[in-house]
């Protein structure tokens, strides 16, 4: 019996051969990389938020000051000018009236000296010799006077006894008068010689500062000699009187009516713009300069710091209103850097409960410690000094002064 063609495997037979695995034995999927990625992302987000809260998310820091109140009688600025530091007597040139060689000079430029301090000493040996000679001539004259006086006395006695003539008496008395004159002349020579000796020691007549030395040790002073470093032939040193330091400034004729004697002022050296020295008007020159159209004014510094203030330094002079010129009303004063000028308008930024507000104001006079606010601001408000750029009205801020 012939066999039929072979059949392929039945699907059911194949399914029956599949082995089912228990659910508990199925392998778990690996999720560690995903968990690590999520954790790293969380750390980055937390760090970014922390940075944001410390920088962009934090309100900007500002410096504040309190709008103060002061009496209107405080001096205000009337006008300003630029000038130079001088002294009351300008500059004093010290020299000598004698000739000689300098052998001692214990001073240098910039050195402060007191009245009576040694400036220079000249070799005085020849002048000492002249003094000794004058003293000897005086002693000789004294002896001659004694001799002539005794002779005149004897001649008078003889004349009373009619032993000598009247002419002989006149000759004796004349000889006595000549001897007395010679004594007086010898005394004058001594005084002159002592004066020459004293001129060999040059001392300071004032309390001051050495501006310039015209001579050095070894220089010889001669009348009509070569002029040294701008000084005369017998000049030795130039001094400035530091007991009365002043600032000289030219004021326009149109503003001179604002300046009066005794008016308060302030002097600020250009080299030290952060230093201000109290002063007052001490001199108004009686004549104007027609070419410049100015009047020269001098202000005296009340308490100058000689370590800072030096003659010929340039300085700014601020003339202040006195008590009679100032208003009696109480003024609101804010720092100058707190006022922001926007075109023609002026504003200040105030801080209220940690929020910044833009307040329009009307600025008034400028004082040494700030600017007057005539309206728009009350005393006691916290104003922002140097408001940061981009500050918005209503922005939250942090006060660094607190």
Sign for the pseudo-dihedral over CA of 112, 114, 115, 117: negative
- Other C-beta atoms closer than 10 Å to the C-beta of 53 total 10
The kind and range of the H/E element at 283 are: strand 277-289
Sign for the pseudo-dihedral over CA of 371, 377, 382, 383: negative
The pLDDT score that the predictor gives to residue 194 is: 94
Q: Under CATH, domain 77-88+243-320 is a member of which superfamily?
A: Efflux pump adaptor protein, beta barrel domain (2.40.30.170)
The pLDDT score that the predictor gives to residue 230 is: 53
Phi (first) and psi of residue 383, to 5 degrees: -105, 145
**pLDDT tens, position by position, 330-385:** 678 899 888 988 777 889 989 988 899 999 998 887 877 788 888 888 888 889 99
Does the predicted model carry a pTM greater than 0.85?
A: no
List the chain domain ranges: 61-75+327-399, 77-88+243-320, 96-121+202-240, 125-198
Class assignment of domain 96-121+202-240?
Answer: mainly beta
The pLDDT score that the predictor gives to residue 151 is: 92
Lookup: tokens for 332: 């609101």
**pLDDT tens, position by position, 47-95:** 554 444 444 556 778 888 888 877 554 456 788 889 999 887 778 888 8
Lookup: tokens for 173: 């008395």
The band of 22, judged by pLDDT with boundaries at 50, 70 and 90, is: low
96-121+202-240 shares its CATH topology with 125-198: no
DSSP letter at 377? -
- Tally of helices (H runs) and strands (E runs) in the chain: 4, 23
Q: What is the DSSP string of 8-26?
A: PPPHHHHHHTPPPPPGGGS
Give the 3-state secondary structure of residue 187: helix
User: What is the dotted CATH code of the domain comprising 61-75+327-399?
Assistant: 2.40.420.20
- Other C-beta atoms closer than 10 Å to the C-beta of 265 total 27
CATH 1.10.287.470 assigned to 125-198: yes
Phi (first) and psi of residue 68, to 5 degrees: -90, 165
Phi (first) and psi of residue 250, to 5 degrees: -95, 125
Please, are residues 395 and 59 in contact by the beta-carbon 8 Å criterion? yes
pLDDT beyond 70 at 191: yes
More confident residue, 35 or 399: 399
> Residue 400 contacts by C-beta under 8 Å, 6 or more apart in sequence?
61, 62, 63, 64
74-88, 232-246, 266-280: segment of lowest average pLDDT: 74-88
């Amino acid at each position: 019996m012939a066999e039929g063609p072979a059949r392929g495997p039945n699907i059911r037979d194949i399914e029956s051969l599949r082995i089912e695995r228990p659910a508990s034995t199925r392998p778990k999927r690996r999720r560690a990389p995903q968990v690590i990625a999520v954790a790293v992302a969380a750390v980055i987000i937390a760090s970014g938020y922390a940075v944001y809260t410390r920088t962009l998310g934090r309100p900007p820091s500002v410096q504040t000051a309190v709008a103060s109140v002061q009496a209107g009688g405080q001096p205000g600025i009337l006008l300003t000018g630029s000038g130079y530091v001088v002294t009351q007597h300008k500059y004093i040139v010290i020299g000598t009236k004698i000739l000689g060689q300098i052998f001692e000079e214990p001073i240098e430029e910039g050195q402060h000296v007191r009245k009576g301090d040694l400036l220079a000493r000249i070799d005085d040996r020849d002048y000492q010799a002249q003094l000794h000679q004058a003293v000897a001539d005086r002693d000789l004259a004294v002896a001659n006077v004694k001799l002539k006086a005794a002779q005149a006395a004897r001649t008078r006695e003889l004349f009373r006894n009619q032993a000598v003539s009247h002419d002989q008496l006149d000759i004796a008395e004349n000889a006595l008068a000549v001897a007395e004159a010679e004594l007086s002349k010898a005394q004058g020579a001594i005084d002159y010689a002592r004066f020459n000796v004293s001129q060999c020691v040059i001392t300071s007549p004032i309390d001051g500062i050495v501006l310039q030395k015209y001579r050095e040790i070894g220089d010889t002073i001669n009348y009509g000699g070569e002029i040294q470093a701008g000084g005369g032939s017998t000049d030795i040193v130039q001094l400035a009187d530091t007991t009365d330091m002043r600032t000289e400034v030219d004021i326009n004729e149109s503003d001179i009516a604002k300046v009066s004697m005794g008016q308060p002022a302030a002097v600020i050296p250009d080299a030290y713009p952060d230093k201000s020295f109290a002063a007052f008007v001490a001199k108004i020159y009686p004549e104007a300069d027609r070419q410049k159209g100015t009047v020269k004014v001098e202000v005296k510094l009340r308490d100058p710091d000689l370590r800072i203030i030096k003659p010929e330094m340039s300085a700014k002079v601020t003339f202040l209103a006195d008590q009679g010129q100032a208003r009696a009303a109480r003024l609101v004063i804010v720092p100058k850097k707190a006022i922001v000028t926007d075109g023609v308008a002026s504003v200040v930024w105030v801080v209220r409960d940690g929020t910044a507000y833009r307040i329009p104001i009307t600025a008034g006079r400028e004082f040494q410690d700030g600017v007057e606010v005539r309206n728009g601001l009350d005393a006691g408000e916290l104003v922002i000094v140097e408001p940061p750029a981009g500050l918005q009205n209503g922005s939250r801020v942090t006060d660094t002064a607190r």
